[in-house]
Each structure stands twice: as structure tokens, then as C-alpha cells.
Amino acid sequence: MPFGNQIFKKPDFKKVSDVVWEVPTSFKQGMKVPARIYATKKIVDQMDLQVYDQITNVANLPGIQKFAFCMADGHSGYGFPIGGVAAFDPEENGVISPGGIGFDINCGMRLVLTNLTYNDVKPHLKTLVDKLFDKVPAGVGSSGFVKLTKDQFRKVVTEGTEWCVDNGYAWKEDLERTELNGKADWADVSKVSSKAVERGVNQIGTLGSGNHYLEIQVVKEENIFDKELAKKWGLFPNQVVIMFHCGSRGFGHQIGTDYLQLFLSVMEKKYGIKILDPELACAPFNSPEGQDYFKAMACGVNMSFANRQVILHRIREVFSDVFKQDAEKLGLKMVFDVSHNRASVERHKVDGETKELIVHRKGATGSYPAGREEIPKLYRDDGSPVIIGGSMETGSYLLVGGPNAAETFMSTAHGSGRTMSRTRAKGMFRGEQLQRDMLKQGIYVKSVSFSGLAEEAGSAYKNIDDVIEATHLAGISKKVVRFTPIGNVKG
């Protein structure tokens, strides 16, 4: 990470393929493995140079295996770049790092079907968006309608979606359509601070701010790329679906903050680990501190699953109210819920040897080909559904785990990836005008603030089609359906 006015330099890449670019270990002293960027040359040329500094810092961390990866949506972040992936071997002093997971722990995407067509929804679109805006609180510090005591909240973050089933906020079938079946079962709430509980207790069922959103989308026939799989997963031409993006809010952020500070205090003094960037503070995965963080992180995972589940409950209520039919009759079934900010213990082959690794995905999505044990049984014969959101002006994608995903420890991109800072975007765009322009494009958007809307202008992001094409060509995830936005609730 830079100190002062450090100037970043672009590496001399080794071209592995049209969509894989390697930074050799000679680029920076201490790199234990090369770094690899999965992107087209066009995207590589447009990336901010800090990405290369950050991903090569990651390549210095103890126990890292094969490569430090950055996906096509990569941009600079905290510690790891957004779009960063790295796997560490605990048997080789491999580490766990909050900066490689993200402070919005288990931030992710959920995709929901309906049996409604665009023609069914069009007359009610404004009403739907307005009601969703009222029912699903958004923005900084927003509180949800689920009122919990701190002890009840501790139960939620231990049980995840199972708590939602038991308390009437989920259908039982939602579990099998969620990663980990909606529960990180190694969670230990005793490893979470009282301050984290205080920050999270009122935030179940809320979107938050920034790039979090709830979107009504339509499936256009020409955007169905895998007709057989799309049909099997319940998608059809002119169908309306709902996609939303959010995470563990202040709860996850506080967990990350607490353990970052702890790791900074023990990392070098106790474990002799020296790093290039304090934002990559870490501890050996098998150390007491590393295990405590992993168990606390799991509580963040469960809070996030419960948060998205309660939002789905509210979506079902709104659609049922507007269309005067039960949610079941409207076909409001989940396709999948997938994270892009988590560390997972997984088995992978490294140079022919099967190892148990701790895989960090920071703004990167698990992308498992058919047969992998991480995939819920419902989808195991197909490969894991991969949900990648674009900007509110463009579109989003459903993909499936690709045949070459083992190259990246079963990982792919998570979104468009920013091309400009939020400050710069607010200086270039005006939220009021953006809202009017989007309405002309057929997208009705409602936001907590116009400045927040300006930050999320489509032009502040990479072209989602370029990002997806890179992952598709690399074979780490394969296109199934592209969705077009028609209504949006923004934080």
C-alpha cells in the first residue's frame, strides 16, 4: 500500500493467453508467487495502477499457493484489490486476513424468479418500486422492521437462514438455494465484540448504502445464452426477476475492524510476520487469533444470509400485495444466494497434490464446476449458479461455474468494477438528472439521496459485458442469462 505520494508503476506482463496476464515475482521483492490478472487487454490497460501494487503485495503473504489473482472487475480496495483471490495453506503457515475478505463480510447477491412477464409488471412498476423502497430500508444507518434483543440477534448470527425459517421469514426450500445452506456452522458468537452486536442488532432486513441495491429486471430472449440451463433453472423470455445486493452491514464491518487491530498487535511480535501493507494485517490460520477471527467471520456470514432472507420476505409481501396473489402462486422462488466477500476452507489440487486451503475471495465469486461438494445438491450436476451484478444503468448476469475454474481456485468476478472514485463520480454527475435520464431509458429508480445516486452512475463502472466476456472466454464462468434493469431501489 502506498505511503505519502508513492507513484505506482505498471508491470511488464507476461501474456499467458488473451485473457490471462502474469506479473512475475521479479516485479517486487518478497513476492512468493506470481500475480495473475484474468481480463482482456482492454481491461488490463484501463485498470488503476494501485491494483497491481495491491495484488503483488498479496503475493508476499505467508503460505500463498500458486498465484495471487485479480479478476476482470478488479479495482483498488482495502488490502486486497476488489476482485482479489488468494488461497493459503495452513500447513505452510498460511494466513487469514480481514483485508482479503472485506469488511462487509459475506456481501453477496440473491436472484429471485417470478412467473410474471414484463407486460404484467409494467403497469405496476412504479408502485412496486415505491413499496419496495418503503419496505426495505436503505441508506447509511438504516434500521430494519425485525426488532430483536441482543440475545436474539446472537441467535440469528449463530443460525443464519435457519433462524429465518423457524421465525416465518423463509420457505424451507430457500435453504437449499443458498450457499452453505444458509449457515456457516462454525460460527461462535463469543468471538464477536459487544460493539459489533450493538451495530448489527437493528440492521436485519436492510440494504445499506453505496453500491447496494434491489432491482427489478427483465429477461430478453436475445440475452438467453444457455437455453437449456436457463429453462432448467426456471428462466424464460420476457420474464421479470428480482436481484439484490447487500451484506452484513455495520456488524461485519466491526468484526473486521476488531480483528484487524488484533492482528496488527500480534502479527510481527508473536508470529514474526512482516508485510508490505498494514491493511493486509493477518495471523496464521491455525493460530488462536486466526481461528477466533474465522469463527467471528462466520457470524458475519450468518447475519448476511439472514439479512438477505428477510429482504426476500419483504419482496414477497410487496409483490403479493400489489398483484393480490400469494407469493407461491407468483412464483417468487429463489434461484440462488451467492457471496463475494468470504474466506472458505476448501480442498483444491496444487501441483497434483490435494490440499485443504483457506481461500480468500474479496469482491470475487465462488464459481464451482459440476460435481464440487460446495454446490448445493439441487445444482451439483450443473455447476454453481454465479450471480454478477452490473451498474444500475446497464444489466446483470447469471452464469454457471466454468470448466477452467480450478485455475483460480474456483473463483470469478463479482460485478462491473469501478473506474472512478465516488468523489469523482459525484463531481461529474447529478443525481436528479441521472434519475430523469434513467426514466427515459425505461428504468424507474428511487434512492435515499441524489448524491448517492450520482456515485453509482453507470459511467463510473466498467462495461459489464466486457467483464463477463473475459470470464467467459477464460472458462472460469460461463454465460447463462443477461438481465436488463427496469426498476431500482438504491441506498
Hey, what CATH topology would domain 14-419+461-490 get? tRNA-splicing ligase RtcB (3.90.1860)
pLDDT (tens digit per residue) in 134-179: 999 887 777 788 999 999 999 999 999 999 999 999 999 999 999 9
Helices then strands, each counted (H, E), the chain: 14, 19
- Give the residue among 160, 166, 206 at the shortest CA–CA distance from 185: 160
Active site residue: 253, 313, 340, 414, which one? 414
How many Cα atoms occupy the beta-carbon half-sphere of 323 within 13 Å?
Answer: 24
Please tell me the pTM assigned to this model. Answer: 0.95
If residue 388 lies in a helix (H) or strand (E), which one and from where to where? strand 385-388
pLDDT higher at 3 or 213: 213
**Mean of pLDDT values over 188-205:** 97
Nearest by Cα to 459 from 480, 479, 476, 434: 434
Least confident range from 48-52, 62-66, 168-172, 250-254: namely: 48-52
- Whether 313 is catalytic is no
What is the distance in angstroms between the CA of the first residue and the CA of the last residue of the chain? 29
Per-residue pLDDT band for 448 (boundaries 50, 70, 90) equals confident
Phi, psi dihedral angles at 33 (to 5 degrees): -140, 160
pLDDT 10s digits, 265-317: 999 999 999 999 999 999 999 999 999 999 999 999 999 999 999 999 999 99
